[in-house]
């Protein structure tokens, strides 16, 4: 008997948010009584980006490439072990989506994560479910990672996305962008937010060291966040633990390296303060009711995803403003919890509708 729903997402990336949202979406479907498999698809662009001698190896600095490679190899082992422990995967698909895949599942869900970000996926049509029949195509909380189409690509995006039965996005900015292109869409929670703090807590591994700490977690290069972390440490007496695999800069900070995803959530749950510029860092700060600040500006981009999430939860006061107000932290999460609960209920209702469609299609197939 086949699993009724096939999920296509970034589960193979050595990235905490990527594997945790994949785990959470499978868990959410399981709560609704529906079996799923993640298609173990090897996206060429994702594989190139995450292999030890991938895009980094194209840089002129050969020494930097060689010194980073052991780090990437270790990370790959950590995330590979997590996939084996926690994710239900199909057979490997290393040379494209396997022939006949559309006949082995009742329907498909693409998402969550930035599966529609052309810089990450290489505009891979598999993430628009081009291999499936139109009645099988659904998305859940997909993200573009931008709020305006890349130059010259709007027509290609709209052509491919019009084939989906229902378009579900993670950010309101994406809905506005698609509606202006003539495609209706809805907003749903990132899968990690479908699970409550009580559900994440038994998943998490608690740090052995109980001394209070400021968890600093950065992606894409922080602007002012590290300086703020040092100031906060001076004011509070809490040490800084820096969850980051870089090794050349900020050597005064104590590093957390090669943490498994269960340890990652544990570091968030048990922190006295959290400072981050990461979307999923924002997610777990909210879920665990942390005293936290989010830096939206990074060296490479602006974090649209965290901005939209904070706004939808009424948590704009948790944005780093580079002023004296930054040292005041939110203590009351009653209203954000209420808003999040409403959004969670709405998103589970949508997932239930997908399950209902899968059941109907399964019965039709069995006739």
- Give me the phi and psi of 335, to 5 degrees please: -70, -45
Q: What pLDDT score does 3 carry?
A: 56
Mean pLDDT across 282-306 = 95
Q: What pLDDT score does 65 carry?
A: 59
The residue to which tokens 């698809």 are assigned: 41
Question: What's the CA angle centered on 18, arms 13 and 21, to 5 degrees?
Answer: 150
Domain 5-195+342-366 fold: Rossmann fold (3.40.50)
What superfamily in CATH does domain 197-332 come from?
Glycogen Phosphorylase B; (3.40.50.2000)
Q: What pLDDT score does 365 carry?
A: 67
**Interatomic CA distance for residues 65 and 58, integer angstroms:** 8
Same topology, domains 5-195+342-366 and 197-332? Answer is: yes
**Interatomic CA distance for residues 243 and 150, integer angstroms:** 31
Percentage of the chain beyond pLDDT 70 is 92
Q: What pLDDT score does 272 carry?
A: 98
Element (H, E) at 6: strand 5-8
Per-residue pLDDT at 209 exceeds 90: no
> How would residue 306 be classed by pLDDT, with cut points 50, 70 and 90?
very high
SS3 for 196-230 is: CHHHHCCCCCCCCCCCCEEEEECCCCECCHHHHHH
Q: What pLDDT score does 145 carry?
A: 85
Residue ranges of alpha helices (H) inside the chain are 16-31, 44-50, 62-86, 101-104, 118-121, 154-161, 172-180, 191-194, 197-200, 225-236, 261-269, 279-287, 304-312, 334-366
Q: What pLDDT score does 53 carry?
A: 58
Q: What pLDDT score does 57 carry?
A: 47
Are the C-beta atoms of residues 308 and 284 closer than 8 Å to each other? no
The residues spanned by each domain of the chain are 5-195+342-366, 197-332
Per-residue pLDDT at 54 exceeds 60: no
Pick the residue with more confidence: 78 or 71? 78
99-121 pLDDT, tens digit per residue, is 999 999 999 999 999 999 999 99
Q: What pLDDT score does 221 carry?
A: 87
Tokens of 54: 């991938």
Q: What pLDDT score does 33 carry?
A: 95
> How would residue 47 be classed by pLDDT, with cut points 50, 70 and 90?
confident
Peptide bond into 15 cis (omega under 30): no
Are the C-beta atoms of residues 184 and 164 closer than 8 Å to each other? no
């Amino acid at each position: 008997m086949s699993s009724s729903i096939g999920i296509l997402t970034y589960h193979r990336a050595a990235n905490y948010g990527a594997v945790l949202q994949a785990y959470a979406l499978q868990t959410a479907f399981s709560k609704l009584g529906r079996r799923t498999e993640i298609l173990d698809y090897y996206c060429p662009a994702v594989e190139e980006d995450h292999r030890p001698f991938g895009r980094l190896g194209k840089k002129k600095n050969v020494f930097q490439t060689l010194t980073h490679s052991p780090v990437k190899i270790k990370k790959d082992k950590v995330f590979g072990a997590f996939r084996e422990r926690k994710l239900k995967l199909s057979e490997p698909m290393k040379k494209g989506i396997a022939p006949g895949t559309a006949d082995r599942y009742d329907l498909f869900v693409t998402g969550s994560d930035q599966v529609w970000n052309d810089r990450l996926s290489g505009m891979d049509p598999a993430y628009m479910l081009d291999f499936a029949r139109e009645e099988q195509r659904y998305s859940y909380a997909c993200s573009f990672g931008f709020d305006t189409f890349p130059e010259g690509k709007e027509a290609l995006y709209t052509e491919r996305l019009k084939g989906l039965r229902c378009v579900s996005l993670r950010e309101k900015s994406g809905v506005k962008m698609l509606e202006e292109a003539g495609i209706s869409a809805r907003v749903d929670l990132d899968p990690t937010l479908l699970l409550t703090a009580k559900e994440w807590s038994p998943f998490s591994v608690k740090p052995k060291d109980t001394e209070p700490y400021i968890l600093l977690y950065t992606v894409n290069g922080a602007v002012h966040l590290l300086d703020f972390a040092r100031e906060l440490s001076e004011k509070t007496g809490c040490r800084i633990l820096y969850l980051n695999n870089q090794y050349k800069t900020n050597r005064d900070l104590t590093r957390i390296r090669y943490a498994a995803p269960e340890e990652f959530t544990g570091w968030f749950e048990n922190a006295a303060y959290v400072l981050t510029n990461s979307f999923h860092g924002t997610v777990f700060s909210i879920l665990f009711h942390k005293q936290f600040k989010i830096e939206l500006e990074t060296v490479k981009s602006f974090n649209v995803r965290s901005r939209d999430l904070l706004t939808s939860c009424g948590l704009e006061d948790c944005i780093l403003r580079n002023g004296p107000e930054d040292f005041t932290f939110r203590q009351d999460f009653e209203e954000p919890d209420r808003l999040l609960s409403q959004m969670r209920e709405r998103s589970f209702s949508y997932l239930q509708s997908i399950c209902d469609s899968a059941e109907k299609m399964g019965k039709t197939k069995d006739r």
